[in-house]
Amino acid sequence: MKLVRTLDSNDPSFRGGAITIGNFDGVHRGHARIIEQLVALARKVGGPAVVFTFDPHPVRLLRPDAVPPPLTWTDRKADLLAELGVDIMVVYPTDEALLSLEPHVFFDQIVRQQLQARAMVEGPNFYFGRARAGNITLLGELCQASDVRLEIVSPLTLKGEYVSSSRVRKLIADGDVAMANTLLTCPYRIRGMVTHGAGRGAKLGFPTANVDAIDTLLPAKGVYACRAKCVAGKWPAAVNIGPNPTFGEDALKVEVHLIDFQGSLYGQPLEVDFLQRLRDIRSFGSVEQLKSQLARDVAASRNP
């Protein structure tokens, strides 16, 4: 997988293949269906399978008060798409000039001139160009006139509902990470930096890494069975998202207990895959009751 941030005229790697345009936030199973067709079509036309995305998300410029919390960061998205067979991910800088392009101009400048696409793959609800004025019908007309092959992939449904980033986002916000993972191609992951906390977990026998600077959607408050990835490797983990009401604390924190891990993580990056929600946050009548519950949380997280 090659990550491209500028369509340099001297770089031929992203030209002459099959492309799909979209945000692909989360890289869910609906996206995977599109990518499967994209890769197959790229092989037919003899060029790369190219995913064209935007940075920042266009909504951030058009309606900054309505920006949805992201499900993936750029490098994570690239890794997930690479696993599906994508050759190139273009992360195109979004600005007012790009968003002001009329649909036919966007098609001519981006799709035909810069990407020199031979084929496209999109869903039926695809929109492009200024004010989202271009739809799949117009795209079909432009592709036909330019001898660009177009394949339209029908949306994927699961349990009677479309698989979409917004559906995944709601499930995670509600804490239903297990159901969200059935829609995603890989377990939901967050990342952050380990910072100093109160050190209370270590005193209880369950040392935790306090994770800050998280730049994606945080699951609902609760205790989760997870898998953590740090510089030293991967570990099963029990994760607490929320306050510590037993000790009269109401600040929201993300505390990760890496099961059987020995060592310091301060100042290091930490990534966490969420596998299952175990319980709500609640106050305990004594420290011993809390320690007993933490032991049960760890046991449930060791092999979720």
pLDDT in tens, 109-125: 999 999 999 999 999 99
pLDDT tops 90 at residue 285: no
On whether the pTM is more than 0.75, the answer is: yes
Phi, then psi, of 119 in degrees rounded to 5 = -155, 155
CATH classification of 187-302 is 3.40.50.720, yes or no? no
Position 275 confidence tier, pLDDT thresholds 50, 70, 90: very high
pLDDT in tens, 122-144: 999 999 999 999 999 999 999 99
| pLDDT given at position 36 | 98
Domain 2-161: which topology?
Rossmann fold (3.40.50)
Q: Dihedrals φ, ψ of 83, to 5°?
A: -65, -25
In the chain, residues under CATH classification 2.40.30.30 are 187-302
In the chain, where does the domain assigned CATH 3.40.50.620 lie?
A: 2-161
* pLDDT at residue 62 in the model: 78
Tokens 């996206």: give the residue. 31
Which among 240, 231, 242, 234 has a CA at the least distance from the CA of 201?
A: 240
Q: Residue 245: is its pLDDT beyond 90?
A: no
pLDDT surpasses 90 at 242: yes
Is residue 198's pLDDT more than 70? no
